[in-house]
């Protein structure tokens, strides 16, 4: 197995469509296309794995990958790596289907200081501890690993407590539940509070008083209003709340049930166009020191597969649960409100539980604090990173995994949301199976079925090493210093030049002395011999979809390419005398012009050959003349 840092094998490809701003005033994306060393490192699995889970502990340089009967470890810093077989163990398989009779590793997490590894173990869920590179027996796997692969598994570990949506018995318990399976006493959700839920994400949010600490989980479920109301969406997105300190009810029927469950609809609507995004796809939570400021980034899709990102604050979610009436409940609310956490050893009173259990949904919906954008891309996963830039302000950067095996880096800037880069992390086209952010190391870990890649969050090498390109990229993680487009993580001391707040590109490069090329950046003329009457085409690669590209011939505009082209091409069908000379391809973005290519088309017979040769020239092929020149050179050498 090889450890590789194939720096050049990394591709940043072109952008195909732009982000639509939720409101009118928003600058469009300006992604770049580059093939250059950007600092990525990669490991290839021994074989292609059709199922993987990725575990990365923040701040470490390594990842663990759980696959089918296999555990991989990769250290990106010192290239230590290993693969260990994790085959089925113990009693013979109790699987009905043969494809299940394998050990699918489904959970890799730190629990009580050890790496906990759980797998299906041929329909006999089992957990192990991974200690000093060795397998040790682990805790009871009931609820920690499923009996076979299941798309609806969610496990949340918080200190000693473990919460899970995995069913505990193979052939019963078809109604999904959200349980506390370890730590404090076991609890589960009533079977009537959710309608065929698909779980998306769960998180613990600590409040100021410990008894108020909450678990929020996000899910989709079938809309009870559909098909009664044919216009209603078939499924709705929800957030549910539970008190961490919930101790269950006092009656025999409610003793092991959560008594603080409430759910609310999560709305993601572009009010300008009244477009609704109903299908919650992924959630990323950015914690704040002050809990109400903690932000929930929800990635949604609509019925056509278009994506939108909506942001909610935990303060807003909490307020809806605390203040909203219950849907369909008209009676007087009990003294202890449904959803209210109890202090100390107190249990939720039975009358409160009764009301909450029969009316689990609150009437008010959770509205987004902001919709960042919507886009034609069918994004699958979201990661959010806060970047402190040179002027000490903090910017939000989103990493969105597409369904085409690429990642879009999207910056939330004062003038709007902008797609700054499209990253193709794998050597060959492959789906992104897993993506994890490490905001201590400022790296991204991405896995496909055949490899796992560590990518720096700042890939400033993608923006040509000239000041204007570096500024125009508007990537918060990059700035200009010492003649290079440099990562803010490498030079976080305020000396970097950035232009993130300007709507129209201001010539910050020219007005400062940052080793800038001051816009007079030109490529040397490439001499190209073109035979008269032959064909030739001029090709200029499009780097930014935010720029215009123009081919000039002796400063006369001969071809213009807007966005949507991959290459700006000018075709010469029949080379004639007046078509020789200097051609240059100029990109224009805001007020910044840049010459990308200069080609000097030269007639091979014009200066170097005599009139006699010229008479033949139009009839003879170029290769003939090449051959003749070659012979002349050889003859001269012999003499």
Ligand X SMILES: *[C@@H]1O[C@H](CO)[C@@H](O)[C@H](O)[C@H]1NC(C)=O
Closer residue to ligand X in complex, CB, 341/596: 596
Q: How far is the CB of 424 from ligand X (least distance, A)?
A: 14
Q: How far is the CB of 38 from ligand X (least distance, A)?
A: 18
Site for ligand X in 586-625 (CB under 6 A): 586, 588-589, 591, 593, 600
Closer residue to ligand X in complex, CB, 211/537: 537
x-or-dash string of contact with ligand X, 327-346, rule CB under 6 A = --------------------
DSSP annotation string for 204-267: EE--SSGGG-EEEEEEEEE-TTTTTSTTS-SEEEEEEEEETT----SSTTTTTB-SS-EEEEBP
Q: How far is the CB of 413 from ligand X (least distance, A)?
A: 17
- DSSP 8-state symbol, 477: T
Query: Considering only CA atoms, which of 425, 420, 494 is closest in space to residue 463?
Result: 420
Closer residue to ligand X in complex, CB, 47/79: 79
Site for ligand X in 377-416 (CB under 6 A): none
Query: Considering only CA atoms, which of 280, 277, 144 is closest in space to residue 199?
Result: 280
Choose one: 142-150, 184-192, 458-466, 545-553; the region binding ligand X (CB under 6 A): 545-553
Look at the block and give the residue holding tokens 């730590």. Answer: 183
Retrieve residue 484's tokens: 């290079």
Closer residue to ligand X in complex, CB, 23/574: 574
Residues in the chain, overall count: 639
Is residue 427 classed as helix, strand or coil in its secondary structure?
coil
Q: How far apart, in whole angstroms, are the C-alpha atoms of residue 139 and residue 2?
A: 34
Query: Considering only CA atoms, which of 370, 373, 378, 453 is closest in space to residue 420?
Result: 373
Q: How far apart, in whole angstroms, are the C-alpha atoms of residue 21 and residue 18?
A: 9
Interaction between residue 36 and ligand X (CB under 6 A): no
Is residue 387 classed as helix, strand or coil in its secondary structure?
strand
Closer residue to ligand X in complex, CB, 175/558: 558
Choose one: 154-162, 268-276, 543-551, 621-629; the region binding ligand X (CB under 6 A): 543-551
Q: How far is the CB of 51 from ligand X (least distance, A)?
A: 27
Strand-pairing partners, residue 549, are: 561, 587
Closer residue to ligand X in complex, CB, 366/561: 561
HEC string for 342-378: CCCCCCCCHHHHHHHHHCCEECCCECCCEEEEEECCC
Closer residue to ligand X in complex, CB, 132/345: 132
Closer residue to ligand X in complex, CB, 226/489: 489
Choose one: 91-99, 260-268, 286-294, 569-577; the region binding ligand X (CB under 6 A): 569-577
Distance of alpha carbon 340 from its chain centroid, rounded? 36
Site for ligand X in 39-98 (CB under 6 A): 75, 78, 80
Choose one: 21-29, 175-183, 260-268, 585-593; the region binding ligand X (CB under 6 A): 585-593
Closer residue to ligand X in complex, CB, 177/545: 545
Interaction between residue 541 and ligand X (CB under 6 A): yes
Closer residue to ligand X in complex, CB, 9/600: 600
Among 1, 84, 210, 525, binds ligand X (CB under 6 A): 525
Q: How far is the CB of 597 from ligand X (least distance, A)?
A: 9
| CA–CA–CA angle 612, 615, 616 (5° rounding) | 100
Closer residue to ligand X in complex, CB, 75/93: 75
Cβ 308 vs Cβ 268: under 8 Å: yes
Residue 355 dihedral angles phi and psi, to the nearest 5° = -65, -45
CA atoms within 13 A on the CB side of 216: 24
Among 16, 442, 548, 598, binds ligand X (CB under 6 A): 548
Closer residue to ligand X in complex, CB, 98/619: 619
Q: Write the CB contacts of 250 (distance below 8 Å, at least 6 apart in sequence).
A: 347, 349, 350
Q: How far is the CB of 545 from ligand X (least distance, A)?
A: 10
Give kind and range of the element (H or E) at residue 526. Answer: strand 526-529
Separation in Å, CA 619 to CA 178, 532, 574: 82, 10, 14
Number of residues near ligand X (by CB under 6 A): 26
Q: Is 524 exposed, middle or buried (0-12, 13-18, 19+ CB in 10 A)?
A: exposed
Would you tell me how many other CB atoms lie within 10 Å of the CB of residue 196? 12
Q: How far is the CB of 495 from ligand X (least distance, A)?
A: 5
Separation in Å, CA 40 to CA 8, 76, 210, 372: 9, 10, 42, 28
Q: How far apart, in whole angstroms, are the C-alpha atoms of residue 255 and residue 244?
A: 16
Cβ 446 vs Cβ 400: under 8 Å: no
Retrieve residue 329's tokens: 């409940």
Closer residue to ligand X in complex, CB, 121/477: 477
Give kind and range of the element (H or E) at residue 423. Answer: strand 416-423
Query: Considering only CA atoms, which of 415, 556, 389 is closest in space to residue 476?
Result: 389
Q: How far is the CB of 491 from ligand X (least distance, A)?
A: 5
Among 99, 328, 524, 619, binds ligand X (CB under 6 A): 524
Interaction between residue 539 and ligand X (CB under 6 A): yes
Is residue 174 classed as helix, strand or coil in its secondary structure?
coil
Q: How far is the CB of 496 from ligand X (least distance, A)?
A: 8
Q: How far is the CB of 303 from ligand X (least distance, A)?
A: 33
Q: How far is the CB of 541 from ligand X (least distance, A)?
A: 5
Query: Which residues of 266-342 form beta strands (DSSP E)?
Result: 269-270, 275-276, 279-286, 295-301, 307-313
Choose one: 164-172, 311-319, 382-390, 524-532; the region binding ligand X (CB under 6 A): 524-532
Tell me the Ramachandran region of residue 173: left when phi exceeds 0, alpha when psi lies from -120 to 50, beta otherwise: left
Strand-pairing partners, residue 478, are: 487
Closer residue to ligand X in complex, CB, 60/273: 60
Q: How far is the CB of 425 from ligand X (least distance, A)?
A: 20
Choose one: 10-18, 101-109, 293-301, 566-574; the region binding ligand X (CB under 6 A): 566-574
x-or-dash string of contact with ligand X, 492-521, rule CB under 6 A = -x-x--------------------------
Q: How far is the CB of 573 from ligand X (least distance, A)?
A: 7
Choose one: 36-44, 242-250, 400-408, 544-552; the region binding ligand X (CB under 6 A): 544-552
Q: How far is the CB of 550 from ligand X (least distance, A)?
A: 5
Closer residue to ligand X in complex, CB, 178/592: 592
Interaction site with ligand X (CB under 6 A): 75, 78, 80, 491, 493, 495, 524-525, 527, 533, 539, 541, 547-548, 550, 562, 567, 569, 574, 576, 586, 588-589, 591, 593, 600
């Amino acid at each position: 197995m090889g450890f590789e840092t194939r720096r050049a094998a990394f591709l940043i490809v072109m952008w195909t469509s732009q982000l639509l701003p939720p409101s009118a005033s928003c600058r469009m994306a300006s992604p770049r296309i580059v093939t250059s060393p950007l600092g990525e490192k990669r490991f290839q699995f021994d074989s292609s794995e059709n199922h993987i889970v990725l575990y990365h502990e923040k701040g470490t340089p390594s990842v663990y990958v759980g696959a089918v009967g296999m555990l991989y470890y990769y250290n990106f810093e010192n290239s230590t790596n290993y693969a260990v077989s994790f085959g089925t163990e113990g009693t013979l398989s109790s699987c009905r289907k043969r494809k299940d009779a394998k050990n699918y590793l489904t959970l890799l997490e730190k629990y009580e200081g050890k790496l906990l590894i759980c797998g299906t173990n041929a329909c006999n869920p089992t957990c192990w501890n991974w200690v000093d590179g060795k397998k040790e027996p682990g805790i009871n796997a009931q609820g920690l690993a499923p009996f076979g692969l299941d798309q609806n598994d969610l496990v949340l570990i918080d200190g000693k407590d473990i919460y899970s949506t995995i069913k505990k018995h193979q052939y019963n318990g078809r109604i999904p539940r959200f349980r506390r399976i370890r730590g404090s006493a076991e609890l589960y959700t009533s079977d009537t509070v959710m309608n065929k839920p698909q779980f998306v994400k769960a998180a613990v949010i600590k409040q100021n008083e410990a008894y108020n600490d909450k678990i929020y989980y996000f899910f989709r479920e079938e809309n009870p209003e559909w098909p009664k109301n044919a216009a209603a969406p078939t499924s709705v997105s929800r957030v549910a709340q539970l008190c961490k300190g919930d101790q269950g009810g006092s009656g025999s029927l409610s003793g092991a049930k959560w008594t603080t469950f409430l759910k609310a609809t999560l709305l993601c609507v572009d009010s300008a166009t009244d477009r609704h995004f109903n299908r919650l796809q992924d959630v990323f939570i950015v914690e704040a020191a002050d809990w109400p400021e903690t932000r929930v980034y929800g990635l949604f899709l609509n019925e056509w597969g278009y994506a939108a990102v909506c942001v909610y604050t935990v303060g807003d979610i909490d307020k809806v649960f605390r203040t909203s009436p219950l849907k369909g409940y008209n009676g007087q609310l009990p003294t202890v409100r449904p959803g209210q956490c109890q202090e100390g050893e107190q249990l939720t009173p039975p009358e409160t539980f009764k009301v909450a259990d029969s009316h689990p949904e609150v009437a008010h919906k959770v509205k987004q604090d902001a919709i960042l954008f919507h886009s034609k891309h069918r994004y699958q996963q979201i990661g959010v990173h806060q970047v402190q830039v040179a002027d000490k302000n903090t910017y939000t950067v989103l990493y969105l995994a597409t369904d085409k095996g690429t990642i879009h880096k999207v910056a939330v800037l004062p003038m709007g949301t902008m797609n700054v880069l499209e990253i193709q992390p794998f050597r060959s086209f492959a789906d992104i199976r897993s993506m994890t952010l490490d905001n201590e190391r400022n790296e991204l870990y991405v896995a496909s079925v055949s490899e796992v890649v560590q990518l720096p969050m700042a890939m400033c090498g993608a923006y040509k090493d000239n000041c204007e390109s570096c500024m125009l990229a508007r990537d918060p993680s990059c700035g200009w210093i010492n003649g290079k487009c440099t990562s803010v993580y490498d030079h976080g001391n305020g000396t970097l030049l950035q232009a993130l707040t300007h709507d129209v590109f201001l010539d910050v490069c020219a007005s400062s002395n940052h080793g800038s090329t001051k816009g007079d950046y030109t490529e040397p003329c490439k001499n190209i011999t073109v035979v008269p009457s032959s064909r030739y085409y001029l090709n200029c690669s499009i780097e930014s979809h935010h720029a215009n590209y123009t081919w000039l011939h002796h400063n006369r505009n001969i071809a213009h390419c807007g966005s949507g082209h991959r290459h700006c091409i000018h075709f010469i069908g029949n080379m004639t005398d007046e078509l020789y000379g200097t051609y240059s391809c100029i990109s224009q973005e805001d007020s910044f012009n840049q010459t990308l290519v200069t080609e000097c088309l030269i007639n091979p017979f014009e200066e170097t050959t005599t009139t006699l040769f010229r008479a033949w020239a139009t009839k003879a092929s170029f290769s003939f003349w090449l051959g003749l020149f070659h012979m002349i050179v050889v003859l001269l050498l012999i003499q």
